[in-house]
Amino acid sequence: MTHDEIIEMAIENTINGLNFNQEGLVRFAHLVAAKEQDRCCAIVFAQCESDNVAQRTVDVIRGKA
């Protein structure tokens, strides 16, 4: 993620009620991690010749395997 995307997410989630105390920061870190996982998974699907291989790789990235 770019610096600007992280700032945008922080502003958006602050407006939506995310507090930046310890619990809020942990939740924000999970949001950023999920966004990065989504990006990685999109790259995998774009680069793999087999959807089966792509899905197995994505399952590993998301901790489902």
Q: State the pLDDT at residue 37.
A: 94
Is-above-0.85 flag for pTM? no
Q: Is the dihedral of CA 25, 27, 33, 36 positive or negative?
A: negative
Token pair of 19 as six digits: 């507090």
Q: State the pLDDT at residue 11.
A: 82
Each residue's pLDDT tens digit in the chain (65 positions)?
888 988 888 888 776 666 667 777 888 889 899 999 999 999 999 999 888 999 999 999 999 87
Integer distance in angstroms from the first to the last C-alpha of the chain? 25
Q: How many domains does the chain have?
A: 1
* Residue-range definition of the domain harbouring residue 24: 3-61
